[in-house]
Amino acid sequence: RAKASRRGGVCFFSSELDDEASERRMLEGDLREAIEGGEIEVAYQPVVSSVTGQVTSFEALARWTHPQRGPISPARFIGIAEESGMIGLLGTGLLLRACRAAAAWPSDIKVAVNLSPLQFESSGLVKTVKAALALSGLPPQRLQLEVTEGLLIRNVDHTFAILTELRNLGVQILLDDFGVGFSSLSYFERFPFDKVKIDQSFVAKIATSPAARAIIQAVVGLGRTLNMGVVAEGVETPEQMQALVELGCTHLQGFLFSEPQAESAFRHILRPDRDEAGVIASL
Ligand code: C2E
Ligand code: MG
Ligand code: MG
Ligand code: MG
């Protein structure tokens, strides 16, 4: 866009829009090919227990490297997939891949998969999750599904009914990015989430904003009363980690521990039996 507006020193608003729209159409076409060709990869990011320091789960995060443009952020391509009706196919493929990977991990390590609100709108989500579990052999107890409040602002009754069916399968339901947007405390009255993930914006401000600290503290209190784990996302520094542990967050996730990486980067944790001399591995 910056390029378009510099052209001849004059900004032609309509041509900017054209550029934007044609770039999007191109990405959409390429994304369709990438999805159908199985080219969307999964990166994994560890989540650690604040009590033991051990990895308890990995979050699966979608990755797309465009052949000409390099890596495209999931915020962008998940959005395109949602708007062009491809999120069902993409989401199902990612879920199956993540379940298959996790089925080969040590049995005390779970996998977390993000769901788009739109995956709740087609009727097949529960069937899809059942199929992924059956095909992969992953026990339901080892699958966590992350949902955001975006899901909960429309068609609430339908959504909670599906979440209940999913939870009855034995999978855990996590509320992601809590505290931004239109988060409502009433969600916790409507549904027994297994964990809540505090949005990374609060973690980033923990040293400078007494309000951010107080909000984290309040969510931790809620978590204790409701028997719900509290995960802090976006932990980047030892100082943040210490403050979050003191506040009582049960789990931590962030670049301090590891960036999301290919599964093979975590071989030492995920396939300890294949390591020399059976070294006990942790991060
Ligand atoms: P999310 O589910 O909240 O995922 C956490 C995001 O925070 C990831 O960004 C991760 O790379 C990033 N992150 C983790 N630790 C840190 C940290 O210490 N500092 C900073 N600055 N960032 C950190 P990513 O991979 O770019 O994904 C962005 C969002 O895209 C995700 O947010 C999720 O909403 C969506 N997404 C990613 N993969 C999928 C997927 O397979 N399906 C769906 N529906 N959405 C996905
Ligand atoms: Mg997530
Ligand atoms: Mg999040
Ligand atoms: Mg997020």
Q: What is the pTM of this model?
A: 0.92
> Which of 61, 65, 196, 283, when mutated, tests ligand 1's pocket best, judged by the most ligand atoms within 8 Å of its CB?
61
* Residue 233: DSSP 8-state: P
CA of 173 to the centre of ligand 2 (A): 11
pLDDT tens figures, 121-179:
888 999 999 999 999 999 999 999 999 988 877 788 889 999 999 999 999 999 999 99
Phi, psi of 272 (to 5 degrees): -60, -30
Dist. CA 53–CA 136, nearest whole Å:
28
User: For position 278, what pLDDT does the model report?
Assistant: 43
Q: Is 72 helix (H, G, I), strand (E, B) or coil?
A: strand
- Quick check: CB of 78 below 6 Å from ligand 1? yes
CA of 27 to the centre of ligand 2 (A): 23
**pLDDT class for 208, splitting at 50, 70, 90?**
very high
Please return the burial class of 34, using the count of CB atoms within 10 Å of its CB with bins 0-12, 13-18 and 19+.
Answer: buried
Please return the burial class of 271, using the count of CB atoms within 10 Å of its CB with bins 0-12, 13-18 and 19+.
Answer: middle
CA of 73 to the centre of ligand 1 (A): 9
pLDDT tens figures, 84-110:
999 999 999 999 999 999 999 999 999
Could you tell me which of 133, 148, 137, 144 has the C-alpha nearest to residue 111?
144
**pLDDT class for 76, splitting at 50, 70, 90?**
very high
